[in-house]
């Protein structure tokens, strides 16, 4: 049966809400875009966002910064990472994660992933023992949470500091506990393709006052640290303010104004994403040739994209699969390509870190495909996407036979 070509854009996000536009216009009319340039009786949009996101995340402290990548770099510096230190991270993540490690002068140690696209905890345990690395920048890549209870036991056994990259898990939970609340810090992104959209931006949360004081000075607070919405007491800064450099990575009031109304709607957005994800996943699961990552009962995920594997697919067949889908308007990314494409890359293309052997990860990425599910798609759209993918997989089978 001939199906309709899919015509919607995979990069088109929902419009910024009217109340967010009104708040942004008010900031522009005031001229007070810089986070510390506020009227005497006003906290300012950025400080209010910090307070509201800290409450939403259930953490006492929140810092708003320029990007998710800056949140990770500041978190590592504030946690004590020094140039030359070893920092472990997932072998499957996006380039800003190893880029953040390189950005602070540390050395990345890549950990294998499992068929469920999460960090391999056995490999983490082995490499922590073998290398002595005491930092883990844990990437919840594409919204998949590993067994966080076991991970924290491993971390305790190795006196390991955990910094969570939650760019894809804002609102996700493990056994009811929010991602970003397990380790020393949670790093969030508000880049356009994430769960809240300010074009670019980041949020950093923690329950450690000394860590957050260092992070706040690093972000570029000068001596205005007492004007943050969810920061430590001023006395915490007594020595930290003199010992910590200023790296100027602040969020501004305009972006914060855009984000605050989106935060109020985030729980509904998560439900809407998951309805789309689950419909596509249910349809793809009808074909035994397609492997979908297992979602444990303990995990509450945020399904703003979907991943699936075609084990043993050849590179030529993968390229043909992608081309066939593109011809019917379906934009699917492949992580097994030899060169990075757009936002998609594999560890072999991160030549700013030492090359490392990850045979298990390479096997998985060779057949791994990824598709965005923006909220501009409705459920009917998602069903059509799944039908096109099932058709393309059936065509692969016919070509093999």
Confidence at residue 1, expressed as pLDDT on a 0 to 100 scale: 63
Which two tokens mark 61? 């402290």
Tokens 């596509």 found at: 280
User: What gap in Å lies between CA 262 and CA 260, rounded to an integer?
Assistant: 5
Angle at CA 218, nearest 5°, toward 212 and 223?
85
CA-only gyration radius of the chain, Å: 22
Q: HSE (CB half, 13 Å, CA atoms) of 221?
A: 27
Confidence at residue 375, expressed as pLDDT on a 0 to 100 scale: 98
User: Which residue numbers in the chain have pLDDT < 50?
Assistant: none
CB 103 within 8 A of CB 128: no
Which two tokens mark 65? 């910064």
Helix (H), strand (E), coil (C) string for the chain: CCCCCCCCCCCCCCCCCHHHHHHHHHHHHHCCCCCCCCCCCCCCHHHHHHHHHHHHHCCCEEEEECCHHHHHHHHHHHHCCCCCCEEEEECCCCCHHHHHHHHCCCEEEEECECCCCCECHHHHHHHHHHHCCCEEEEECHHHCCCCHHHHHHHHHHCCCEEEEECCCCCCCEECCEECCCCCCEEEEECCCCCCCCCCCCEEEEECCHHHHHHHHHHHCCCCCHHHCCCCCCHHHHHHHHHHCCCCCCECCHHHHHHHHHHHHCHHHHHHHHHHHHHHHHHHHCCCCCCECCCCCCCEECCCCEEEEECCCCCHHHHHHHHHHHHHCCCCCEECCCCCCECCECCHHHCCCCCCCCCHHHHHHHCCEEEEECCCCCCHHHHHHHHHHHHHHHHHHHHHHC
Backbone angles phi and psi of 347, in degrees to 5: -60, -25
Edge to edge, the sheet with strand 202-206 lists: 61-65, 202-206, 185-189, 161-165, 135-139, 86-90, 107-111
Task: Supply the pTM of this predicted model.
Answer: 0.96
Domains of the chain and any CATH numbers: 18-264 (3.40.640.10), 266-400 (3.90.1150.10)
Beta pairing partners, 139: 165
Q: How far apart are the first and last CA of the chain?
A: 20
User: What gap in Å lies between CA 334 and CA 360, rounded to an integer?
Assistant: 17
| Residue 261, C-beta contacts closer than 8 angstroms, at least 6 positions apart | 17, 19, 20, 23
Confidence at residue 377, expressed as pLDDT on a 0 to 100 scale: 98
User: What gap in Å lies between CA 336 and CA 345, rounded to an integer?
Assistant: 8
Confidence at residue 394, expressed as pLDDT on a 0 to 100 scale: 95
User: What gap in Å lies between CA 375 and CA 276, rounded to an integer?
Assistant: 8
Q: How many CB atoms lie within 10 A of CB 97?
A: 25
Confidence at residue 153, expressed as pLDDT on a 0 to 100 scale: 98
Beta pairing partners, 206: 61
């Amino acid at each position: 049966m001939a199906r309709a070509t899919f015509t919607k854009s995979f990069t088109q996000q929902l419009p910024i809400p009217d109340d967010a536009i009104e708040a942004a216009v008010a900031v522009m009319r005031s001229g007070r875009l810089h986070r510390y340039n506020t009227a005497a009786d006003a906290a300012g949009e950025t400080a209010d966002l910090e307070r509201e996101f800290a409450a939403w995340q259930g953490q006492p402290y929140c810092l708003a910064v320029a990007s998710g990548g800056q949140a990770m770099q500041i978190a590592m510096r504030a946690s004590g990472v020094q140039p030359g230190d070893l920092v472990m991270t997932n072998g499957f993540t996006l380039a800003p994660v190893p880029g953040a490690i390189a950005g602070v002068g540390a050395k990345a140690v890549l950990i294998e992933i499992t068929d469920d696209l999460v960090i391999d905890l056995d490999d983490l345990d082995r490499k922590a023992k073998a290398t002595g690395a005491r930092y883990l920048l844990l990437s919840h890549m594409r919204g998949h949470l590993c067994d966080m209870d076991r991970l924290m036991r491993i971390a305790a056994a190795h006196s390991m500091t955990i910094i969570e990259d939650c760019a894809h898990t804002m609102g996700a939970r493990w056994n009811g506990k929010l991602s970003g609340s397990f380790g020393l810090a949670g790093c969030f992104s508000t880049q356009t393709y994430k769960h809240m959209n300010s074009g670019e931006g980041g949020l950093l949360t923690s329950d450690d006052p000394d860590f957050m004081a260092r992070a706040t000075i690093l972000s570029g607070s000068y001596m205005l640290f007492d004007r943050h919405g969810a920061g430590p007491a001023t006395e915490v800064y007594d020595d930290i303010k003199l010992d910590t450099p200023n790296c100027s990575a602040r969020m501004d009031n305009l972006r914060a104004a855009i984000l605050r109304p989106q935060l109020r709607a985030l729980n509904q957005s998560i439900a809407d994403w998951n309805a789309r994800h689950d419909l596509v996943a249910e349809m793809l699961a009808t074909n035994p040739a397609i492997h979908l990552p297992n979602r444990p009962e303990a995990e509450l995920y945020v399904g703003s994209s979907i991943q699936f594997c075609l084990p043993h697919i050849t590179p030529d067949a993968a390229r043909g699969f992608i081309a066939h889908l593109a011809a019917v308007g379906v934009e699917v990314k492949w992580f097994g390509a030899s060169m990075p494409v757009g936002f998609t890359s594999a560890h072999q293309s991160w030549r700013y870190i030492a090359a490392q052997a990850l045979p298990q990860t390479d096997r998985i990425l060779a057949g791994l495909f990824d598709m965005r599910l923006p909220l501009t798609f409705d459920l009917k759209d998602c069903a059509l996407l799944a039908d096109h993918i099932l058709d393309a997989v059936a065509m692969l089978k016919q070509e093999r036979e």
